[in-house]
C-alpha cells in the first residue's frame, strides 16, 4: 500500500499545541517533551508485516530552512531516504531544486547499488562540497585568485550542478523544454565522464536541462555555431 502524508510537520505542530494545553513544560525550541516518542509511535505503524507492506512518502516542512530543527530532525531518523529541496538551488534556476549534499538514502551502499554507482555518487558529492567550500573565497576575491586546481573543481562542479537539472514532462509548459526520461545507467555514465574531465572543453550552459550526456555535447556544438555567426 501507498501512504502519502502532507505535511508530517502538522502532526508535530498538533502535538505541540495539545502539550501546551495540558500544561507540559516544553523542550527545545518550544516543542512538546514527548516529540521523539510521539513521532516514533506514529512512524512505527508504517511497517512491513507478513500480510503486506506500506510505502510512505512524506512531505516535511523545515522551519527557517533549518534541517537541525527538532521537528524535521526527529522525522528524518525514521526515513529510509530524504530528498531536500533548496531555495538556493531554485534561485539558480535549476529544477528540480534538489540539494545532493543534504539529501540522503540508506541504500547508497556499494553492496546494494554497485561500486560504480556508489563511487560516482560520492565523487559528485565531493566535488560539490569542495566547490561549496570555495564560495567564500570566490565571493570576496573572485575566481582569479583561485589556483588552477580549484578553478577546475569550480568548472566541473558548475557543470554537474546544471547536469542535475532535469526537464520534466509535467513542467514542459513552464520550462519550454521537452521532458526527458534517462536510464540510470546513462545518468551514471554522464556524471562519471564529467568527473573524469572528458567535457572540460564544453561550456556549462550546454549541461542545463538536457537528457543524456550526448545531448549536452550536441547542445554545445549548437551553441558554438550560434556564437560563430
102 part of a folded domain: no
Q: Do 124 and 50 belong together in one domain?
A: no
Q: Do 71 and 126 belong together in one domain?
A: no
pLDDT at 175: 77
Q: Do 222 and 111 belong together in one domain?
A: yes
Q: Do 29 and 120 belong together in one domain?
A: no
pLDDT at 61: 94
Please tell me the pTM assigned to this model.
Answer: 0.86
**Angstrom distance (rounded) from CA 74 to CA 31:** 11
97 part of a folded domain: no
pLDDT at 1: 86
Q: Give rounded-to-5 percent helix, strand, coil for the chain.
A: 55, 10, 35
pLDDT at 183: 93
Q: Do 111 and 223 belong together in one domain?
A: yes
Burial (CB < 10 A; 0-12, 13-18, 19+), residue 228, is exposed
Domain that holds residue 164: 107-229
Q: Do 61 and 139 belong together in one domain?
A: no
Closest CA to 128 of 163, 96, 158: 158
85 part of a folded domain: no
pLDDT at 205: 94
62 part of a folded domain: yes
Q: Do 53 and 111 belong together in one domain?
A: no
Q: What are the residue ranges in the chain where pLDDT is below 50?
A: none
Q: Do 72 and 116 belong together in one domain?
A: no
pLDDT at 229: 64
> What's the structural domain count of the chain?
2
CATH classification at residue 204: 1.10.1140.10
Last residue of a domain, one of 79, 94, 126: 79
Amino acid at each position: 500500500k501507498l501512504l502519502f502524508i502532507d505535511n508530517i510537520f502538522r502532526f508535530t505542530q498538533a502535538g505541540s499545541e495539545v502539550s501546551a494545553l495540558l500544561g507540559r513544560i516544553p523542550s527545545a525550541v518550544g516543542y512538546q517533551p514527548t516529540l521523539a516518542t510521539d513521532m516514533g509511535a506514529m512512524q512505527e505503524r508504517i511497517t512491513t508485516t507478513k500480510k503486506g507492506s506500506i510505502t510512505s512518502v512524506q512531505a516535511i516542512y523545515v522551519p527557517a530552512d533549518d534541517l537541525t530543527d527538532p521537528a524535521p530532525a526527529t522525522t528524518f531518523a525514521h526515513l529510509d531516504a530524504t530528498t531536500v529541496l533548496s531555495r538556493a538551488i531554485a534561485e539558480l534556476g535549476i529544477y528540480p531544486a534538489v540539494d545532493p549534499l543534504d539529501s540522503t538514502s540508506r541504500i547508497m551502499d556499494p553492496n546494494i547499488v554497485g561500486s560504480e554507482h556508489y563511487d560516482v555518487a560520492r565523487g559528485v558529492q565531493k566535488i560539490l562540497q569542495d566547490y561549496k567550500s570555495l564560495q567564500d573565497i570566490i565571493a570576496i576575491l573572485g575566481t582569479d585568485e583561485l589556483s588552477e586546481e580549484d578553478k577546475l573543481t569550480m568548472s566541473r562542479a558548475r557543470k554537474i550542478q546544471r547536469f542535475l537539472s532535469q526537464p520534466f514532462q509535467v513542467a514542459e509548459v513552464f520550462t519550454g523544454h521537452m521532458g526527458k526520461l534517462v536510464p540510470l545507467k546513462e545518468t551514471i555514465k554522464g556524471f562519471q565522464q564529467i568527473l573524469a574531465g572528458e567535457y572540460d572543453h564544453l561550456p556549462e550552459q550546454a549541461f542545463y536541462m538536457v537528457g543524456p550526456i550526448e545531448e549536452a555535447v550536441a547542445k554545445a556544438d549548437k551553441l558554438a555555431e550560434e556564437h560563430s555567426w
